[in-house]
Amino acid sequence: MDKPAASKVINMERIREIVMECGGHKWALIPVIQKIQNEFGYIPPEAIHVIAIGLKIFPSQVQGVISFYAQFYTKPRGRQVITVCRGTACHVRGGESLLEMLENGLGIKEGETTADMEYSLETVACIGVCALAPNVVIGKEVYGKMDTQKIEQLLKKGEA
């Protein structure tokens, strides 16, 4: 991700704008959250009541939707997001051990971000590139036919 992952001050004005751009209607909640996340990299918790007021719903409803869907984050993520696919094909071809290697290599667990905000490690249900299983996604790029050696290389190179 190119954006700074953790900008200290959240531009609440911009959040208000996004809410209004999407029509200010309760049925626009998910698009609003998606847009905020695209711009800010995550949903700042302080944005929740602004969204709720803008869409005329309860903050608990906003929070409920954010926590329900796997793709919404309430914490800043690392500059590089490494996602291990845990689809069936990836699983039977050893995806689990790749995740373990990455966890050990980066010193974080799945769902965590390194202290220097460089890497986040995540999993995804399936990215649909099963023919090249097992897959690891770094940023937007899919790395197919991964194995322990390739992971080791990536770890040595510093993931990029």
Partner 1 sequence: MQNRSTIFVCQGTGCLSSKSGLVYEELKAEVAKLGLSNVDVDFTGCHGFCEKGGIVVVEPEGIFYTHVKVEDVPEIAGSHLKDGKPVERLFYHDPATGKAVSYYRDINFYKKQRRVILYNCGHINPEKIDHYIAAGGYRALNKVLLEMAPQQVIDEIKKSGLRGRGGAGFPTGRKWEFGRNTYSDKKYVVCNADEGDPGAFMDRSVLEADPHAAIEGLIIAGYAIGANDGYFYIRAEYPLAVKRLYIAIEQARERGLLGKNILGSGFDFEIHMKEGAGAFVCGEETALIASIQSQRGMPRPRPPYPAQSGLFGKPTTINNVKTLASVPRIIDRGADWFAGIGSEKSKGTTVLALSGKILNSGLVEVPMGTSLSTIIFDIGGGIPDGKRLKAVQTGGPSGGCIPARFPDTPVDYETLTLLGSIMGSGGMVVMDETTCMVEVARYFLSFTQAESCGKCVPCRLGTKQMLEILTRITKGKGKENDIATLYEIARTVKECSLCGLGQTCPNPVLSTLSYFRDEYEAHIKKKKCPANQCRPLRRKV
Q: Which of 4, 45, 64, 107 binds partner 1 (CB under 8 A)?
A: 64
| Cis amide linkage into residue 134, ω under 30° from 0 | yes
Give least dist CB 116 to partner 1, A: 26
- Radius of gyration over alpha carbons of the chain, in Å? 18
Q: Quick one: tokens of 22?
A: 């999407």
**Residue 87 binds to partner 1 (criterion: CB under 8 A):** yes
- DSSP-derived letter for residue 138 is E
- CB neighbours of residue 59 within 10 Å: 13
| Contact positions with partner 1 (CB under 8 A) in 24-53 | 26-31, 33-34
Q: Which of 10, 53, 117, 126 binds partner 1 (CB under 8 A)?
A: 126
Give least dist CB 67 to partner 1, A: 9
Q: Quick one: tokens of 32?
A: 């609003």
* Beta carbon nearer to partner 1, 8 or 140: 140
Which of these segments, 7-15, 74-82, 126-134, 147-155, binds partner 1 (CB under 8 A)?
126-134
DSSP 3-state assignment of 37? helix
